[in-house]
Chain A
Amino acid sequence: MKRETLFELAWMLPSLALPAAMLVAVVVTAFGAGIHVPTHEGQVDPNALGESELFAEPGVYQVGPGEYEIRFIARTWSFEPAEVTVPAGAEVTFVGTSADIVHGVIIPTTNVNMMLVPGQIARSTVTFRQPGTHPYICHEYCGVAHHTMWGRLTVSEPEPDPFTDNERRVQP
């Protein structure tokens, strides 16, 4: 074998192994550690959100013991609701959609980072361990006042769990 060919192989094989190893790592963390990305969660008519089961009354819902859903609507240039509170330690699922154009939502330093596309339901689940406040920020360009579109999430002290049977709206 020519010397050049050996050099080529000595580079090419690790060049294949490196991306392959990274792929495995990503898939293992997705399914092993449960770090998932938004997926298909169903659709909703953006022109009739008032009639939809999920988005007729946006707010914080307790859906199980220590489990909450924040059902929210993004519209140019605000979130509804714009202020929410959840207890520390609870499993919180953001369930959102857009009423007009494409928006997005990110909560810095958490895994909540998803697009809000009119017609599509987006979900992301997170647990806040410490009491405090977090901004939720629109991170897709949505017009001239895009940078003013945000909301405030407050994480309160953990509460004794009052959940009984059915889901209930706790805010606003």
Chain B
Amino acid sequence: MTSANTDVRVDDRLTLYFVAVSLVALFGGAVTGLMQGLEHAGINLYTVAQPVIKSYYHGLSIHGVLNALVFTTFFICGFVPFLFCRALGRPLANRKLAWGTFWLMVVGLVMAAVPLMANKASVLYTMYPPMLAHWGFYIGLTLVVVGTWLVGLNMALTYRGWRREHEGERTPLAAYMSLATFAMWTLASLGLAAEMLFMLIPASTGLTATTDALLGRVLFWYTGHPIVYFWLLPAYISWYALVPKQAGGKLFSDPMARVTFLLFLLFSTPTGFHHQFADPGIHEGFKILHMIFTFAVFFPSLLTFFNVVASLELASRLQGGKGLFRWFASLPWGDPSLTSQLLAMLIFVPGGVGGLINASLNLNLVVHNTAWIPGHFHLTVGTAVTLTFMGISYWLVPLLTGKALWSRKVALVQAWSWFGGMLIFSNAMHRLGLMGAPRRSMLGSVPYALPEWSAVLPFVGIGGTILFISSLLYFGNIVATVLHKKEAVVEVPFAEAHSGAEESPKALERWGVWITVAVVFVLLAYGPALMTLLSRTSSLSPGFQVW
């Protein structure tokens, strides 16, 4: 069975469609985000926005779902298979499946978006029964998740075809990392899928009358933490496989990069209880076990820090960079794609440090469910991931459309303003959290505000406004790129490695073994806890709509 078309560019249009949907979602999230920031600063736009956005929480639901779920997922399902195919030098195994998957995900998105926009799904982006949204929201999002599985399946089929013709060879690095990402996600998404199929869809359609709140939270967070690695790993793929080349050098160590992704496959999923440290009904021992797994994930992140920074340093020194730290300033900062991603990496350092605090059993008592948490994940998903994806799009959109980037200068201003705006916004949110301000609350209007919050709240609005302006520069630049006439031929900036693939252990390619180990870790971390939960006499609640 051979593919009718062996041109690797055959499905560039598919990638473009995925990216287009993701950027529309990002725009919707940016508008609602601005309103939230201004609300905290005392400027309430919700009275003006009434015809469309009914409340702060309606807007917050749109912001979270569009930015964290839709933008990320669609960008990843466009970018990762694209890079995977270029790395292997062959198109996706099944074109019909690939396009069918895209349209399935679009149908799912529309099904979820209609109740979301109509204020029938203002549950934010977490799924905590017995609070229930309209059933269309859950079925739609489930279809999107099924779509991600089909993307992974298509990649697996493509890999099988490649492997048949390349026996004994190492998988190209970018393809290896792409496979690890989707293997991890497929295992990690089972919790959310189970919550959707067995709890949320039956309860929201009226098939069942009651749900178990704690079980819902456990299933949600089974997916809810590793989903952040599903967002982050594609950014890492760019940092490892492309950024060294964009910086004018090579990747420091290819085998180390593979080990890193393998560790993410093993340790990403058995970590969910660290989001439930403050939950009753789960024994402290289970929480400590998940904390250990969460700390284990810190190791591949430190390896990434080392490997990527070493690659950048070598690249800089090749071009005359000097000094212990000064070489960092000698990198080619005039390239907006590289600059975006370097700034994303810088922001990821405090993001990672904050993440360690969140993962620490009892330190988390200080920050759990406070404004610190959105402060934290706007550094990680909101910048390390988002600004990297923006940086990728600065070469990917020109490659896909054949048009030169409209303005490098605007792109540079955009990257720096995102960096600056996020520092202001996130710093304010972290400080508010340490002072006990709750997250996901209309903080500009709370009756219990402590006097010390008032000096910090305006900075949430200032940072949010800068971020919004940055996003307008971004969208303007992308739209102008697509519309203007100047053509360009762009290549994927694949990096070579100083220490190459041939030095990596062959065992790293044994997917069956590693996926089995990952499943065993999940069973160890969740098996006993789930058995305990399911065996308790259940005390079920009816569903509620509360907005």
Contacts and interface: CB of A to CB of B under 8 A. Distances in A.
Partners in one complex: yes
Interface of A: 4, 7-8, 11-12, 15-16, 18-20, 22-23, 26-27, 29-30, 35-41, 43-47, 76, 97-98, 100-102, 104, 106-109, 111, 113-123, 135, 137-144, 146-148, 150
B280 A142 contact: no
A115 B448 contact: no
Contact of A121 (B252, B280, B302, B445): B280
Contact of B284 (A11, A39, A106): A39
Given A106-B370, A113-B368, A119-B539, 8 more contacts: A20-B295, A30-B284, A30-B362, A101-B128, A102-B217, A104-B278, A135-B448, A137-B436
Contacts of A111: 365-366
Interface in B76-123: 122-123
B441 A146 contact: yes
A45 B302 CA distance: 46
Contacts of A26: 291, 360-363
B214 interface: yes
A143 B435 contact: no
6 contacts: A30-B288, A45-B539, A106-B370, A139-B439, A141-B124, A148-B446
A94 to B, nearest CB: 11
Contacts of A47: 539, 541-542
A18 B448 CA distance: 39
Interface string B505-533: 00000000000000000000000000000
Contact of A8 (B56, B253, B298, B436): B253
For B281, B282, B450, the residue with the greatest tally of chain A CB atoms inside 10 Å of its CB is B281
B546 interface: yes
A11 B541 CA distance: 51
A111 B362 CA distance: 9
For A47, A109, A115, A150, the residue with the greatest tally of chain B CB atoms inside 10 Å of its CB is A115
Interface size class of B (residues with CB under 8 A): 35 or more
B438 A76 contact: no
A27 B540 CA distance: 34
A15 B280 contact: no
A10 B159 CA distance: 35
A135 B536 CA distance: 34
Interface in B345-399: 356, 360-366, 368-370
Contacts of B320: none
Given A30-B362, A109-B436, A36 B302 contact: no
B234 interface: no
Interface of B: 55-57, 122-124, 126, 128, 130-131, 212-214, 217, 252-253, 256, 276-284, 287-288, 291-292, 295-296, 298-299, 302-303, 306, 310, 356, 360-366, 368-370, 435-443, 445-448, 450, 498-499, 536-542, 544, 546-547
B276 A115 contact: yes
Contacts of B131: 101-102, 142-143
Pick the 4 closest A-B CB pairs, nearest first: A108-B436, A143-B546, A139-B438, A122-B280
Contact of B546 (A22, A37, A144): A144
Nearest to B309: A11
Nearest to A41: B280
Nearest to B306: A11
Nearest to B545: A143
A38 B546 contact: no
Contact of A104 (B296, B362, B369): B369
B445 A147 contact: yes
A6 B523 CA distance: 36
A146 to B, nearest CB: 6
A171 B141 CA distance: 47
Contacts of B446: 147-148, 150
Given A19-B299, A135-B448, A137-B436, A43 B537 contact: yes
A44 B122 CA distance: 28
Nearest to A121: B280
Contacts of B57: 141, 143-144, 146
Contacts of A109: 435-436
Nearest to A29: B362
B436 A11 contact: no
Nearest to A11: B306
Given A22-B295, A144-B57, A147-B442, A108 B539 contact: no
Given A7-B310, A30-B362, A76-B546, A38 B280 contact: yes
Contacts of A148: 446-447
Contacts of B56: 147
Nearest to B119: A144
A4 B279 CA distance: 45
